[in-house]
Each structure stands twice: as structure tokens, then as C-alpha cells.
Amino acid sequence: MPQTESPDRHDGSGPGAHHVTGPQIVVMGVTGSGKTTMGAALSERLRVPFADADDFHPPANIAKMSAGIPLDDVDRRPWLQAIGAWLAAHAATGGVVGCSALRRAYRDILRRSAPAITFVHLAGRPEVIRGRVAARPGHFMPASLVDSQFQTLEPLEPDEHGIVLDLTKPVDQLIDDYLTAVRQR
């Protein structure tokens, strides 16, 4: 099926930029915010590939989180570099990744590989997230790590290309809100 024109195109110009013809989007937020659900739906709407950042974790990271131990920056660096490489490999087609990207430094690692990234931060209250995570059977991230995720979270800064959306809205509304924001830019 031919790719449709997206309102989130970037020409890849600028220092160190890659040639980008499709949207490169990272749906970010704490665990349980709906990154995978929103990311998959957004990629379908934009007709670009989707990747879940959880699939890029090495077994040691999953074991650590399953044991209730938060990851540190040393654990996250190769994981973030692998996600950035996936985005760079999809520069021509575009792509959407569901990735926590909690700190500015983590987003900077992703931007090094894919400078045209737009971040979509799914934001919400800790009690909403705790309820969602507790209701998620079989996931490696325990509800006990929700507070550490909020402690790590650094909101998007004014110079970061992105949008903050209320995670309590239905997915279709979130996608519409994202597309409206892109059109208004």
C-alpha cells in the first residue's frame, strides 16, 4: 500500500541530520502510560512501522526490572542506542517507537541517531498509572517501580520538539490531538 503524506514531515536539513522523509515519533512516558497502545495505533494511522522499546532490552535489564530494581544510566545506554539505530534505519519510511525516554539525556541519545524526532509525552497522575500497572498481568515491570519512574521523569523542555497529551483520553482522541498539534505548527 502506498505511504500517505503525513503532516509531520521533516526534510532532514541541518547539521548532522539524516535525510528523513517519514515522521519519526517517540511516544514517551512512564510505565503504564499507554506508550505501546498509542504508538501502535499512531503508526497504523500514519502507515509507518512501529517498535516497542521493551523489545530492545537485553535479558539483564529485564531480569533487573523483574526483580524490582530500577535501571541505571549504564543499563539504559545500549538500550537507547539500539532504539536510536532502529529510528535511523527507518528514516526514509518514518517510524514510531513506544519508549519511556524519561530524561532529557535519554532523549538526547535518541536524537543523535534520529535528529528529526518528535516526542509525544503521555502524561498523567501517579495514582492513575499505579492502577494501570497493577492491572497489567504478566508484564516484567512491577507496580513498585512506578514511583521511581516519576522520580526519573524530566518533562519535555521548550527546545525539544514534542507535545504533551493527557493519557486518560481515548487513543483515537490522543491521535487526533497529536495530528491537530502537528498541523498547527
Q: How far is it, in rounded angstroms, from Cα 157 to Cα 80?
A: 19
Q: Give me the chain's average pLDDT, please.
A: 84
The string of pLDDT tens digits covering residues 39-74 is 999 999 999 999 999 899 999 998 988 887 878 899
Average pLDDT score over residue span 117-143: 78
Indicate if the pLDDT at residue 118 is higher than 50: yes
pLDDT class of 185 with cuts at 50, 70, 90 = confident
Cell numbers for 98 = 513506544
Neighbours of 41 (CB within 10 A): 18
**DSSP-assigned beta bridge partners for residue 24:** 95
Residue 144 near residue 68, CB atoms below 8 Å: yes
For cell 531480569, name the residue.
63
Q: How far is it, in rounded angstroms, from Cα 117 to Cα 139?
A: 27
